[in-house]
Structure 1
């Protein structure tokens, strides 16, 4: 039996959930006047994404789209008939470029001849992909070799990344969102609040007067968003961006109803931000505690993520491990050396300077 407050809201891990149960897969629920929560199925262990339909005077604005699958299109077909009642989609907003958020943005745009809104960095990232019909290139293999991964193992990771599920319908146009941009939808003003780390320029939508925050993947309850380093930018420091974004989001009121992309809507934003910060600080401490002797990223992955299931989990976990390692190298806590073609990480000599310069090879 769940603990409930005086409003009947479920209390769990310091967060307050207005709805004890989510809608069934493919179903909707109105969470505020003119704001509908659509539970779109996904073909993974994380079996859903939350999309949001915003009612406007003459139609609907869709926030995020689901993956590029036939199942997604089938659900949309029914929702457009039964929920949207024949009224058109006037615009699509993609919080970020990931395939479960932007997968059929171009398909909806073509069907309704409507614009797609997203930030410039997310639009650019949408078009950076490894060609699925070619073997992995030297840069991909080199990235994983340096992490301690064999070429055979890397090829299996490449196969996961090349799955058609992860390839959104090509999008050839967008309207740019920026920090502070405002969208007027159905008499409600939604202000763009950007975050970084999980993706380059993630757009959250904040309706101040109604206390609503569509947070996408930038703030999730219970689970943590992936903050990873991948072959496209091997020395990136996304964890620094992520932690800075936590500070940025604290400027929003703690009282907002957070409408996330996964799990259930919740209250107590600031408490969740504290939890996310504590999670990553704990991972950093754990990594440092295991770097008295030089370790590869693959070895450190087994420390930070001791229980993994399959190559997809490994892909995400290794990216996160490298994000924490790159953060500690950048602030001078770890040293990164090359040993027989692999990066090895060890605690820095006391008083060493942070790695603020880049080698050209």
Structure 2
């Protein structure tokens, strides 16, 4: 517990939290008139996701859905007649394609015969999905071999990608959201602010009049969103997109109440954006310090994430390591060569020059 101010708000690491505790799983808390915060359980170390319900005329609009499993459906069946007073869903908005956000998107849409709103890139990536063949493809083997993993190790990672709860129930159609799109929901105007890096075209919702920002995974208060490179695009530069999105979000007022997908709603958006940028700057500096001699991605992964345990942690840690390495290659700070089928990364210049480059975001 951090410091509690006169308003009963908690201050922790420069952020102000109006709610000291979240609602229990399957229960709701009103965070603004006509805006409900619903906590949904997840079967991971990150054990929850925040969903938001927006009152709209004779029904509700849902923002994100929870994971594709029986527990999520059961909770929805309980929440809708109770918290939503039996009123139907009029639309489902999906911030991005990740399984905890889009898991029962198709089920809710079909159940209430209501439209799905999301950006085009997220809709396409959701349909791309995880590899279905139980045998690793040549591309997957090549991706992990170049990172420094053996073929057997790559095969052991594949079942994690194919777990059923990572496969959302897909909707048939969608209404396209774009940067600057405006949605009139219950008398409020919500503007779409697109963020990138965590996912291709993540839709945040900003209500200027009431100072509300539904941030999805683009801004979280305590943990940092994953910024990863995957086998589908091994030379991608998502960290560049992420850092550019931080600058875009700085244009919003610092006074907004941020409604994130994980942890608790908070104030002090700009302070959190500074913390997120500093987090990645520190990772970049650690990575470069480790590259005075040629290193594989797997070796660098242990430098950035020394506490990673188990196969799932390895998947996440490797993706983040490659995101930082690819960013530094694009900036000219690292070079990459292939030795014995493995990519090895090394500093491209003097340590002093590299340090100066890192400070020029």
State the TM-score bracket (shorter-chain normalisation): over 0.9
Q: Distance in 2 between matches of 1:316 and 1:55?
A: 36
Q: Answer yes or no: is the 8 Å Cα contact 2:55–2:61 preserved in 1.
A: yes
Farther-moved stretch of structure 1 (2-11 vs 325-334): 2-11
Structure 1, unpaired ranges of 5+:
353-361
What does residue 348 of structure 1 align with? Answer: 348
Structure 1 residue 162 and structure 2 residue 162: aligned? yes
Structure 1 residue 237 and structure 2 residue 237: aligned? yes
Q: Distance in 1 between matches of 2:78 and 2:11?
A: 34
Q: Answer yes or no: is the 8 Å Cα contact 1:16–1:267 preserved in 2.
A: yes
Task: Tell me by how many angstroms 1:132 deviates.
Answer: 2.8
Question: Aligned ranges for residues 1-361 of structure 1 at < 5 Å?
Answer: 2-349=2-349
Farther-moved stretch of structure 1 (275-284 vs 82-91): 82-91
CA deviations on 1:233-271 (whole Å, 9 max, x unpaired) are 000000000000000000000000000000000000000
Question: Paired residues, what number?
Answer: 352
DSSP-derived class of the 1:184 partner:
strand
Q: Answer yes or no: is the 8 Å Cα contact 1:206–1:212 preserved in 2.
A: yes
Q: Distance in 2 between matches of 1:28 and 1:264?
A: 13
CA deviations on 1:36-87 (whole Å, 9 max, x unpaired) are 0000001111000000000011100000000100000000000011111211
Q: Distance in 2 between matches of 1:129 and 1:158?
A: 13
Q: Answer yes or no: is the 8 Å Cα contact 2:134–2:158 preserved in 1.
A: no
Q: Distance in 2 between matches of 1:306 and 1:134?
A: 30
Task: Tell me by how many angstroms 1:154 deviates.
Answer: 1.0
DSSP-derived class of the 1:54 partner:
strand
Farther-moved stretch of structure 1 (147-156 vs 333-342): 147-156
Q: Answer yes or no: is the 8 Å Cα contact 2:65–2:101 preserved in 1.
A: yes
DSSP-derived class of the 2:295 partner:
coil
Q: Distance in 2 between matches of 1:150 and 1:270?
A: 43
CA deviations on 1:318-354 (whole Å, 9 max, x unpaired) are 00000000000011000000100010000014699xx
Task: Tell me by how many angstroms 1:133 deviates.
Answer: 4.3
Structure 2, unpaired ranges of 5+:
355-361
CA deviations on 1:82-137 (whole Å, 9 max, x unpaired) are 11121110000000000000110110000000000000010011011233343110
DSSP-derived class of the 2:72 partner:
helix
Task: Tell me by how many angstroms 1:172 deviates.
Answer: 1.8
DSSP-derived class of the 2:344 partner:
strand
Q: Distance in 1 between matches of 2:75 and 2:185?
A: 24
Q: Distance in 2 between matches of 1:129 and 1:73?
A: 21
Task: Tell me by how many angstroms 1:153 deviates.
Answer: 1.2
DSSP-derived class of the 2:128 partner:
coil
Q: Answer yes or no: is the 8 Å Cα contact 1:304–1:321 preserved in 2.
A: yes
Q: Distance in 2 between matches of 1:79 and 1:133?
A: 37
What does residue 358 of structure 2 align with? Answer: none
DSSP-derived class of the 2:92 partner:
strand
Q: Distance in 2 between matches of 1:172 and 1:290?
A: 47
DSSP-derived class of the 2:245 partner:
helix
DSSP-derived class of the 2:123 partner:
helix
What does residue 359 of structure 2 align with? Answer: none
Q: Answer yes or no: is the 8 Å Cα contact 2:329–2:336 preserved in 1.
A: yes
DSSP-derived class of the 1:40 partner:
strand
What does residue 358 of structure 1 align with? Answer: none
Q: Distance in 2 between matches of 1:31 and 1:127?
A: 33
Q: Distance in 2 between matches of 1:349 and 1:271?
A: 33
Q: Distance in 2 between matches of 1:3 and 1:239?
A: 33
Give the TM-score, by structure 2 length. Answer: 0.96
Give the TM-score, by structure 1 length. Answer: 0.96
Q: Answer yes or no: is the 8 Å Cα contact 2:134–2:159 preserved in 1.
A: no
